[in-house]
Homo-oligomer: A and B are copies of this chain.
Amino acid sequence: MTFDTTRTAVARPVVAPGPRRGIGLDEMRLDGGFWGVHQETNARATLRHCVDWMERLGWLANFDRVARGSTGGERPGWQFSDSEVYKLLEAVAWQTAREPDPAAEELWDALVERIAAAQDDDGYLNTCFGHGGQRPRYSDLSEGHELYCTGHLLQAAVARVRTRGEDELVRIARRAADHVCREFGANGRQGICGHPEIELGLAELGRALDEPAYIEQARLFIERRGRGSLAPIALLSPAYFQDDIPVREADRWRGHAVRALYLAAGALDVATSMGDDELLHAVERQWTRSVERRTYLTGGMGSRHQDEGFGDDWELPPDRAYCETCAGVASIMVSWRLLLAKGEVKYADLIERTMYNVVATSPRADGRAFFYANPLHQREPGGDVRPDEVNPRAEGGIRAPWFDVSCCPTNVARTLASWQSYAAFVDDAGEEPVVTIAQYAAGEMHVATDRGTLVLDIATAYPDEGSVRIRVREAPADPVALRLRVPHWADGATLRGPDGDLPCAPGWADVAGPFATGDEIELTLPVAPRLTWPDPRVDAARGTVAVERGPLVLCLESVDLPDGVAIDGVALDVAESPRGSGDGAVVRLRVRQPKDGAEGRPPFLASPAHPDGLGREIDATVIPYHRWAERGASTMRVFLPVA
């Protein structure tokens, strides 16, 4: 723990009023393990990878052109490319807060210098609008993404001010926020941005800098939305950018998933800052309805490619699942805010599901290629990805180094760099402080409570193994309680305390203090493979079953099948329980030999075909979904037909 203790405990993305506070980045150190390795790869490879691509494509040079006054009608990158630079900065801010890294510091300074030079005198900062040869400022609120970019700038500044204090980037962000408040305030332009993001950026920067005007501006943007003010985009409905129904009236998420979720996160920030329970309840209601009917087994959201959006209730096709990586990131942002606001375990459960099966799925093991979409069924090997080129965003089956629309790599980077901040939270409101561990990883926690610091050593090979051993290294003299999450799937979990093993049901498991140095608690979660069945209303998965193991969704990948057996030519023998193997499982399959029964006709038959279960038996390994496509182009499926 190397940095300014005055900011200990604020080194985190969300600092909301209320009894619960998430731990700061500096309150937990990862010791290898699943997330430690991911975080290390992110620090060593991904950050640089993103900078290099943005330099190569001219997205960074866009700032220089504005600074030099040499803009024109055309510029490299989409209108939202500035935001990638800001998301990368946010990642760098979190990363450098955790450990000294002179190279990253140098990178920070160099980038901030170029950004500073591009800011207009009145605080406006955007490389696509408002300068020579470009369209005027705010002339295209529907698609221009100017406020969206500003929102990401503010989030980067939040990361910086909460880990290092006010530096040049924070001053840039302050000027930009002031400009937005002047321009779009109560008496200003009554507009909103086609892509929500400014709301949460303003609200959090307002909290970080103690500027209520920023939070008020966020509130104005939230209230203005849903009233049809945005000019339509061809072929898309106003629901695409949530301009169809006011936020506090909507009962579900709809339209573009990332937009819907950033908006929900911003609404929660406004609601908690303003004590607006109606708005808070509206988002809770949207969460429940959308999670229960519009969310994939992986936690992924977004069933449609066309608008990168939510589908109707129960519309969850595995093959055309969009499940954009960024929607996973955004879903975690929303659930984390709700977890702090409400303390309910279901939010932490969904964060875990999404972290392991969406966020961890996107980056290749080397941190230099990414999935943008995360389908649950790949029918054709993803041969179209070009390893050294910019790729279309939704190619399935092979991770790509960079995308034409490249929002996902930097979103993964900032999430991995700040993983610790989702691991635990402290509730100081009751008689004794309660430290809740929401996510498990090996490492040490130094959690500040108002009775003193609780220091815990956590040893675990989770999720490969189910044992989580927590040893108290240091505890305040006053009582502090510990609360552990027992995930919803962990029927049969046990807690070994001073008094022996106790069964604990899914939910929060309370361990009463006071604690003394040397106390040990062991939580054992059952991580044997298990079968998971789709709700019968999920038409696209009827007659299938998935295999899960702990928080991991498993999948069958073609490279794990014998030659001549196709991913779509097997069915799962559910009479034979899957057996754990490494981090995956071994399952019994029946190989089917479907005949082409519809010669010269569409594939619909005069009698039911039951080739399943007729073929030979084979055993095959199913691997964690997050690891698929690491062994070359392949086909894959999560949901296996039942033999």
Binding site for B on A (CB under 8 A): 234-237, 288, 291-293, 295-297, 299, 304-306, 311-320, 344, 346, 349-350, 353, 377, 379-380, 384, 392-394, 404-405, 488-489, 491, 530, 532-540, 542-546, 568, 592, 594, 596-612, 641
Contact = CB atoms under 8 A, between A and B. Distances in A.
A353 B600 CA distance: 12
A66 B313 CA distance: 49
A533 B319 contact: no
Closest 4 CB pairs of A and B: A346-B600, A535-B603, A543-B543, A542-B543
A489 B606 contact: yes
Nearest to A344: B600
Given A536-B592, A608-B533, A542 B641 contact: yes
A606 B535 contact: no
A286 to B, nearest CB: 13
B314 A568 contact: yes
B318 A320 contact: no
A13 B404 CA distance: 43
23 contacts: A235-B392, A292-B599, A292-B602, A292-B603, A297-B602, A304-B306, A305-B306, A306-B306, A312-B319, A317-B317, A318-B539, A319-B540, A489-B606, A532-B605, A533-B606, A533-B608, A534-B604, A534-B605, A536-B594, A536-B610, A538-B603, A542-B641, A545-B608
Nearest to A236: B392
A536 B641 contact: yes
B601 A346 contact: yes
B539 A602 contact: no
Contacts of A545: 608
Contact of A295 (B299, B384, B602): B602
A604 B237 contact: no
A355 to B, nearest CB: 14
Given A317-B317, A404-B234, A404-B235, A603 B534 contact: yes
Given A319-B539, A489-B606, 10 more contacts: A292-B599, A295-B602, A305-B305, A312-B379, A312-B380, A488-B601, A491-B606, A536-B592, A537-B568, A540-B540
A408 to B, nearest CB: 14
Nearest to A641: B542
Contacts of A594: 535-537
